[in-house]
Amino acid sequence: MIQAWAESFDWQSIDTVLLDMDGTLLDLNFDTFFWLHHLPKRYSQQHQLEEQQAKADVHQRLIAKRGTLDWYCTDFWSRELNVDIVALKQEIQHLIGERPEALDFLRALGQINKQRILVTNAHRDSVEIKFAVTGIEPLLDQVITSHDYGYAKEDQRFWQQLQRSTGFDPQRTLFIDDSKPVLNSARDYGIAYLLAIETPDSQQPPAPDHGYPAIGQFAQILGLDNG
């Protein structure tokens, strides 16, 4: 079903492509490793805690903020945990990388004159770290983080602000993201074309079925050359 949908994809009906960053253009492995392993380890070292205790503490605090702007905010977690989140991310920035075909996909979108807008919940600090070690920034027409507006993508007010600032037409927009709550929010706002990502994290099994068409490779919707 997904393949048939991809083959019938009509680019003439789309002007704008909204793209998530982590898990969509970039491999989610960096973020998974950072939040589940590296941060708890360094948190335990800095505060003289057992690592398992540190993991449980960090996990509990993260869960309490899931879906809110604080969950994605480096400043918030630096204060909350009394650590330098940006510095800790830089310690493992060698793990940051694009998902397969991401750069080719962005180039191809530019060649067919589609507006390429990054829409991410990541804090600007995290965006800058990832731009510094990947090639995606020059291939984007605009970069929007939910911290610019004060609302996460899960909030309808994010999309209202985004439409006001960019002028995108929801009926002529494709949005690609790896988060079901975010895709649901975009659907509720009326964005016509929605795609999920089958394997956001290269080191993990494919994500559960989100209830949205999902792609494993960008070539599925743009006919990119895999060679």
The whole-number pLDDT of residue 2 equals: 36
Q: What 3 state SS string does 57-70 have?
A: HHHHHHHHHCCCHH
Tokens of 22: 């982590």
Return the CATH number at 121: 3.40.50.1000
The whole-number pLDDT of residue 226 equals: 42
Q: Are residues 129 and 107 in the same domain?
A: yes
Grade residue 223 by pLDDT with cuts at 50, 70 and 90: low
Q: Are residues 141 and 200 in the same domain?
A: yes
Q: Are residues 211 and 197 in the same domain?
A: yes
Tell me which of 2 and 29 has the higher pLDDT. Answer: 29
Q: What average pLDDT does the segment 52-77 reach? A: 89
Distance CA 75, CA 147 (A): 11
Q: What average pLDDT does the segment 167-171 reach? A: 97
Classify residue 227: in a domain, yes or no. no
Distance CA 32, CA 207 (A): 13
pLDDT digits (tens, 9 = 90+) for 205-220: 998 877 899 999 898 8
Q: Are residues 59 and 7 in the same domain?
A: no
Q: Are residues 102 and 84 in the same domain?
A: no
The structural domain count of the chain equals 2
Measuring CA to CA, how many Å separate 214 from each of 26, 27, 168, 175, 180? Answer: 16, 16, 23, 12, 11
- The pTM score is 0.91
Mean pLDDT, the chain, integer:
91
Q: Are residues 40 and 137 in the same domain?
A: no
Kindly report which listed range (56-60, 102-106, 129-133, 192-196) carries the lowest average pLDDT score.
56-60
Q: Are residues 162 and 124 in the same domain?
A: yes
**Which residue type is seen at 158?**
F
Q: Are residues 187 and 130 in the same domain?
A: yes
Classify residue 172: in a domain, yes or no. yes
Q: Are residues 183 and 154 in the same domain?
A: yes
Q: Which domain holds residue 58?
A: 30-94
The whole-number pLDDT of residue 209 equals: 79
Give the single-character DSSP code of 25.
T
